[in-house]
Amino acid sequence: MKKQNPKQRIKNFNEVALGMSLEEALKEASRCLVCKNARCSAKCPVEIDIPRFIKAIKDKAFNDAIKIIKEKNNLPGVCGRVCPQEDQCEGACILNKKGSPINIGALERFAADWELKNASRVTRYALRTEGAKVIVIGSGPAGLTCAGNLAKLGYKVTVFEALHAEGGVLVYGIPEFRLPKDIVKKEVDYLESLGVEFRKNFIVGKTATLKELFGQGYRAIFIGTGAGLPNFMNIPGENLNRVYSSNELLTRVNLMKAYLFPEYDTPVNIGKKVAVIGGGNTAMDSARVCLRLGAEKVYIVYRRSEKEMPAREEEIKNAKEEGIKFLTLTLPKRILGDDNYFVKGMECIKMELGEPDSSGRRRSVPVPGSEFILEADTVIVAVGQSPNPVFLNATPELKTGKWGRIEIDQETQATNIKGVYAGGDATAGEDTVIAAMGSGKRAAKAIDNYLKTKKLF
């Protein structure tokens, strides 16, 4: 897929990947073997019939292609752009044996963009509003998927969202240059066309409690409140000026549009030398945002090796093309401040790989005496996020486990409270868009079963 040139793109927030042309999409689709027992589909968490939609593209039946995708996936424009396809459908494609899998993500994006450009939505469902009332808390990919699937089944769904825009991490976390916000908006519009109602600026647990909402005639609830609480390293110096959590940086830049200052009045104070701690998508996004905000040198500081980095392969490649320096096998020990309590550097220690830990990744251990000072005037901490506590604190009857994650039955997503289901990062910790969508889909099916069994439909 063509991309903006790195020298040019670090000066703007426009989308980096430019999508496939018609000719490119047809050529790529014609390489697909349309396998009977398609391994690619088996690896897709929402079970898209991949060979069938690719064949439709090959036959230039683009209406059919998007319809096939939307049988299973309400957010194709998002997934085509941000799914870690190398670990899922593309990683399982039989053509890996010959060295080059089908670029399934780009074809999915092609079909989604085709639908958006050809204004009339081809995948409308007849609205049925006689069904029971269901609540979805949070409008991230888990909530949006659960809401869309329930609406297709005829339920009256209301999504309560704490922020002033729908989409969760898709709008406040992932930057415009990876996922344009008008794509997310159009996917949300599609759900509205299915009859889903959105109520923004509504914090469940503060504006109203779970109990109060049940009292308003809702029959079931899905919790998709995500993992929006940033983790810190708990090292000295984390309270200095110009130390940000990735969450704060990205929310200011994406949701509050700091990159358009002074047109938007939420500036963000970034220096010239930035150290970003972490190796996931959040770290890559933070580093690339800082570069676009005018930083001259940006480092990724990661305690394991590049092989263990959880970020999408494509984003690691993009970050490197843009000139971001990778300091792998490096662990920050403390952040150093000047007399005015502004960051002036970071003491780090070199690491080496040891035995695998419980996650299967090799543990990193410090190399004695290898400490060094990294010159930096800004530090971004991107070392993971934990479940959002506001709702959890207001709902002590809900059972949670390790790191405050909501406990669920893995098959149905049911919590310990009757009629209450949960999914996405609120249950799994920081995961992926498609995993969150998979859980929303399972929950919608289980809610439908529950309401039918209880004759509440």
Binding site for ligand SF4 (CB under 6 A): 32-35, 38-40, 50-51, 54, 93-95, 102, 104
Q: Which does 17 bind (CB under 5 to 8 A by kind): ligand FAD, ligand SF4, none?
A: none
The CB density around residue 331, as the number of other CB atoms within 10 Å, is: 23
To ligand SF4, the closest distance from the beta carbon of 113 in angstroms equals: 19
Query: Which position among 74, 318, 388, 400 is part of the footprint of ligand FAD (CB under 6 A)?
Result: 388
Alpha carbon dihedral 84, 90, 96, 98, in 10-degree steps, equals -120
* Binding status of residue 82 toward ligand FAD by CB under 6 A: yes
The two most distant CA atoms of the chain are separated, in Å, by: 69
Query: Which position among 142, 191, 331, 408 is part of the footprint of ligand FAD (CB under 6 A)?
Result: 142
Query: Which position among 19, 77, 80, 140 is part of the footprint of ligand FAD (CB under 6 A)?
Result: 140
**Residue of 443, 54, 392 lying closest to 226 (CA atoms):** 392
Alpha-carbon gap, residue 77 to 26, rounded angstroms? 18
Q: Which does 84 bind (CB under 5 to 8 A by kind): ligand FAD, ligand SF4, none?
A: ligand FAD
To ligand SF4, the closest distance from the beta carbon of 84 in angstroms equals: 16
Which CB atom, from 100 or from 129, has the smaller least distance to ligand SF4? 100
Alpha-carbon gap, residue 36 to 47, rounded angstroms? 15
387 within 8 A of 168, measured Cβ to Cβ: no
- Calculate the alpha carbon distances from 427 to 28, 77, 340, 406, 439 in Å: 37, 25, 41, 5, 9
To ligand FAD, the closest distance from the beta carbon of 166 in angstroms equals: 7
To ligand SF4, the closest distance from the beta carbon of 97 in angstroms equals: 10
* Binding status of residue 250 toward ligand FAD by CB under 6 A: yes
- The secondary structure of residue 400, as a DSSP letter, is B
In the chain, count H helices and then E strands: 18, 16
Alpha-carbon gap, residue 406 to 423, rounded angstroms? 8
Q: Which does 95 bind (CB under 5 to 8 A by kind): ligand FAD, ligand SF4, none?
A: ligand SF4
Residues 6+ positions from 91 with CB-CB distance below 8 Å: 43, 85, 101
The CB density around residue 404, as the number of other CB atoms within 10 Å, is: 16
Which CB atom, from 166 or from 308, has the smaller least distance to ligand FAD? 166
* Binding status of residue 281 toward ligand FAD by CB under 6 A: yes
156 within 8 A of 195, measured Cβ to Cβ: yes
The CB density around residue 6, as the number of other CB atoms within 10 Å, is: 15
Tokens of 23: 């000719």
Which residue type occupies 115?
E
Which CB atom, from 12 or from 100, has the smaller least distance to ligand SF4? 100
Query: Which position among 19, 51, 76, 168 is part of the footprint of ligand FAD (CB under 6 A)?
Result: 168
Helix (H, G, I), strand (E, B) or coil at 353: strand
Q: Which does 224 bind (CB under 5 to 8 A by kind): ligand FAD, ligand SF4, none?
A: ligand FAD
DSSP codes joined into one string, 41-102: HHT-TT---HHHHHHHHHTT-HHHHHHHHHHH-S-HHHHHHHS-GGGTHHHH-GGGGGT---
Query: Which position among 74, 282, 378, 415 is part of the footprint of ligand FAD (CB under 6 A)?
Result: 282
Q: Which does 279 bind (CB under 5 to 8 A by kind): ligand SF4, ligand FAD, none?
A: none
Which CB atom, from 273 or from 405, has the smaller least distance to ligand FAD? 405
Tokens of 175: 């930057």
Which CB atom, from 51 or from 384, has the smaller least distance to ligand SF4? 51
Q: Which does 282 bind (CB under 5 to 8 A by kind): ligand FAD, ligand SF4, none?
A: ligand FAD
Do the bridges between strand 156-160 and strand 197-199 make them parallel or antiparallel, or are there none, so unpaired?
parallel
* Binding status of residue 424 toward ligand FAD by CB under 6 A: yes
* Binding status of residue 225 toward ligand FAD by CB under 6 A: yes
Which CB atom, from 50 or from 159, has the smaller least distance to ligand FAD? 159
Contacts with ligand FAD by CB under 6 A: the residue count is: 42
The rounded Cα 239 to chain-centroid distance in angstroms is 27
Alpha-carbon gap, residue 260 to 440, rounded angstroms? 34
Stretches 30-38, 39-47, 339-347, 422-430: which one binds ligand FAD (CB under 6 A)? 422-430
* Binding status of residue 278 toward ligand FAD by CB under 6 A: no
346 within 8 A of 275, measured Cβ to Cβ: yes
Residues 6+ positions from 211 with CB-CB distance below 8 Å: none
To ligand SF4, the closest distance from the beta carbon of 57 in angstroms equals: 11
* Binding status of residue 390 toward ligand FAD by CB under 6 A: yes
Query: Which residues contribute to the site for ligand FAD (CB under 6 A)?
Result: 82-84, 137-143, 160-163, 168-169, 173-174, 203-205, 224-226, 228, 250, 281-282, 285, 312, 388, 390-391, 424-426, 430-434, 436
